[in-house]
Amino acid sequence: MTRNQILIVDDSRMVRNVIKGYLDKFTCDTTEANNGEMGLDLALNAHFDLIITDVEMPVKSGIDMCRELKADPSTRAIPILMISSFDSEEDIHKGFQAGASAYLSKGEVHSQIYDSVERLLSKSSFNSSKLILVVDDSSVIRHLVNTELSKAGYCILTAVNGADALEKLEFHQPDLILSDIDMPVMNGFELCEAVQDHELFKSIPFIVMSTNSDRGHMQRMLRRGAQAYLVKPFNMDQLTILVDKLLSDQFVMLLKDRERLDSERRLMLSTITSLVTALEARDAYTKGHSTAVAGIAAALAEFSGASSQEVQTILIGGHLHDIGKIGISDTILLKPDCLTDKEFSCIQQHPEIGASILSPVDSLADIVPMVRCHHERMDGKGYPNGLKGSQIPLWARITAVADTFHALTSNRPYRTGMKVENAMQIIDDVRGTQLCPDCVDLFMEWLSRDNFQKFAEWDETGSFKDQLMFVD
Ligand SMILES: [Fe+2]
């Protein structure tokens, strides 16, 4: 965890020690200065996450130090907590005017310093992670807004009109857009429309700032997707408060969204487990097959450098690849003897049945092609669609290798599973005809990298499930 750097500025050593004592609860390092001049010098030459300062001090007051820090772009964003025995409304007002983020009277320190420091530190790290795009053709407005929002710790990107903003959106993903309306080349209304029409940008909060206070105009912008409308000239504090509010609302919304997706995913995984269990309960010989295929296919995907999201997709697909067998009658599925042609063509329907079971579930859209195509062959002689080569989705080709390998090495009612070496030979023999040559090569390399021994051990003990549980 990164340690916060806190600068304490006070002419009394005793007060500095008392404040240091309060900060013990935080993961932080403290630096001390005994007047505003020394505090300013330290702040300009080192990084600080927070400055706690007295107001009345010799050489330079806390108010003057604060004013100078807020005027300098390199120190503007550091939150400043003022602590003073001067606590009239006028004193407090002067502190905030100079740029303080919080003001405590000495009597309040004991009960409030902990909460104030915690709030300022977390707000500062939240704000510094947010990028705001300011769009205005007036350099004065751009400068004013930039200065004010930088003081609050936000990162700022500027654009001179709507077209310039759209160009910047290609390379940056701002957390909020603040835009003028009347601009040359592309105005704010057109920009707002373009942002709302773009899948990736439409969730970015959009604030309009305009000299036009016409009610119809405002409603038109709000209807088109703007979240707020500020009439120029506006108070800069009002702007910062509005930006804070919209960004924290957005943050809460994203958090809720993520929780919803997580719970949907958990529900989906438990449904998958039930489906696979239901399938395997009918056929003791295939028990563990889906888990093993899922584990091998996911390990291969990971070995090939796939992203963790892709590995998760192939893992779930592996678990579900044979789910369509639920729709095949017991007399065929469990028949110990060789199947007739008619029975075999029945079995061949399981990839399509599986795909049609999973198709209605939106979150499984990536998995459906894997399930449908895991019995396709490179030479086009597979089923259900006789796809060839790269027409077969990559994850289905990898699953086919894992499926073949596990089918060969596991025990079946009509034969004992073969040794790993023999299975490797057979897989090599069908490289390029039945199985994808690249996926076979990947598999062979994966096995050769000490996975062979591990796999041989798993195979003998039959403990695929324990060794290959990837699902969290
Ligand atoms: Fe299958």
Closest CA to 63 of 31, 44, 86, 32: 86
CA distance 60 to 37: 5
80: nearest Cα among 102, 107, 105? 102
pLDDT at position 466 is 36
Cα(349) to centroid(ligand 1), Å: 10
d(CA 348, CA 373): 11
> How far away, in angstroms, is 429 Cα from ligand 1 center?
20
Q: With a cut of 70, list the residues of the chain below it in pLDDT.
A: 1, 265, 269, 284-287, 412-415, 450-472
Centre of ligand 1 to C-alpha 404, Å, is: 9
In the reported structure, the alpha carbon of residue 375 is separated from the centroid of ligand 1 by a whole-number distance in angstroms of 6
Q: Identify which of 316, 326, 333, 406 has the alpha carbon closest to the alpha carbon of residue 370.
A: 316
User: Ligand 1 center to residue 267 CA distance, Å?
Assistant: 25
Ligand 1: centre distance to CA 296 (Å): 15
Q: From CA 178, how far away is CA 386, in angstroms rounded?
A: 54
Query: From the CA of 456, how far away is ligand 1's center (Å)?
Result: 23
Distance 284 CA to ligand 1 centre (A): 16
Mention every residue, 6+ apart, whose C-beta is less than 8 A from residue 404: 427, 430, 434, 435
pLDDT value of residue 470:
30
Q: What domains appear along the chain, each with residue ranges and CATH number?
A: 4-128 (3.40.50.2300), 131-253 (3.40.50.2300), 283-467 (1.10.3210.10)
The pLDDT assigned to 185 comes to 92
Would you state the pLDDT for residue 265?
67
User: Separation of 295 CA from ligand 1 center, angstroms?
Assistant: 16
pTM more than 0.75: no
Q: Strand pairing partners for 51?
A: 7, 80
- Residue 163 pLDDT: 94
Cα(400) to ligand 1 centroid in Å equals: 8
Q: Is 468:299 a contact under the CB 8 Å cutoff? A: yes
The alpha carbon of 46 and the centre of ligand 1 are apart by a number of angstroms equal to 63
Cα(324) to centroid of ligand 1, in Å? 8
Render the burial of 38-69: b for 16+ CB within 10 Å, e for the rest. Answer: bbbebbeeeebbbbbbbbebeebbbbbbbebb
pLDDT, position 469: 34
Distance in Å, CA 64 to ligand 1 centroid: 76
Q: How far is CA 403 from the centre of its chain?
A: 32
- Cα-to-centroid distance, 377 and ligand 1 (Å): 12
Q: How far is the CA of 467 from the centre of ligand 1 (A)?
A: 22
Average pLDDT score, the chain: 85
Rounded to the nearest whole angstrom, what is the distance from the C-alpha of residue 383 to the centroid of ligand 1?
10
How does pLDDT run across 409-451, given as a tens digit for each residue?
Answer: 887 666 677 888 888 999 999 999 999 999 999 999 988 876 6
